[in-house]
Structure 1
Amino acid sequence: MKACGVTPPSNQPVCGVCGAKLVKNGKTSAGRTRWRCKVCGSSTTQSRADVTRRAQLNAFLSWLLGKDSQKQAGSGTGRSLRFSTAWCWDIEVPQPDSTGEVHRQVIVDGTYFNGWCVLIAHDGEHVIGWQWCDRESKAAWAALFKAFPAPDVVVTDGGAGLRAALDQQWRRTRIQRCYFHIRAAVIRHTTLNPRLEAGQEVLALTRELM
């Protein structure tokens, strides 16, 4: 009885012109292997798309998370970096896995980017979820909140539609207004140098509490 043998797949490239197998034919000035077709005589080099993409993604992340401008991170005017990494903007980032953990507190806020709004939930150490939308609204906040259990406390700036979404999804969660946004709201009404006594007292009380 003969042993069962499995022929491993071949990594030898084939000619893009006639389909025949290629043979090695020296190297290019850049050190890459040159391949030649013995049937039709065409010559070519092989490149791995996965290696190229990985290098482009690493360059994109280095620029995105670093301090360099596109010109400094790339070459020339930065156009080559923008061109080679344009596809990176279309990568769909998966949501964090829901563990079912009930967090002590969750900080929520919305920020705008390229005409879109992203609502973010943070537990004080890690981002636990986000929701893309065109603007802050009850529906958008509710979509974010229903992704995980209600926390004990939610810290918020009181964005549009947020309170209504909390009443719908996290009814028993206590609400803590963000100190920074409270102070900003007070200064917006009193200014930093209020002339009226009432404004001076409100600003002084705010500073004392903060």
Structure 2
Amino acid sequence: MPIEKRWVVKPEGDPATVAMLAAALRISPILANLLVQRGIDTVDKAEKFFKPSLADLHDPFLMKDMEKAVERVGQAVRNNEKIMVYGDYDVDGCTAVALVYKFLRQIGHKNLMFYIPDRYTEGYGISIKGIDLAARKGVGLIIALDCGIKATEKVVYAKSKGVDFIICDHHLPAEEIPRAVAVLDPKRVDCSYPFDELSG
């Protein structure tokens, strides 16, 4: 059965604002219109959008469980514990895995591996196959990226195998949050992080 798509075409932005942005930034009116449709309707906002700064980011410790996550990763690094960086197979999952894996290598942690589940045999999210592989390889910590917010039973299963979880996700959680060491998700109702549209 084909998937039904519903396209929503946004109305054109204010023509004067679009023209002003296109001229000031020397960009096409099409791009200027897209900016205006997304609320970027001044030169200052557009420049901030095109040239972001780390200073514009929120304090990461505003995220619920961030201190727990940092402490557990630090413990794993100090003890040369094997870490599995586990991500979903889509774009934000794969890029998140690459980013975290590279970071851990750059700080000198070499005892790690990554895992991307097979889309067809394992499906979306945390899989038993991935957890079993981690346990066989002596992994003590799985850092799940772009998945895991609904993996309550799988986190319990992993714990029974001696594997801890840190979950970094951005999908809507269920009523029960997995009992991982840390669950970083700005969409948690008990999380006060000021921006909840982060990617995985």
Q: Same fold (TM over 0.5)?
A: no
Larger relative helix fraction: 2
Higher relative contact order (CA 8 A, sep 6+): 2
Larger relative strand fraction: 1
> TM-score w.r.t. structure 2 length?
0.29
The structure with the largest alpha-carbon Rg is 1
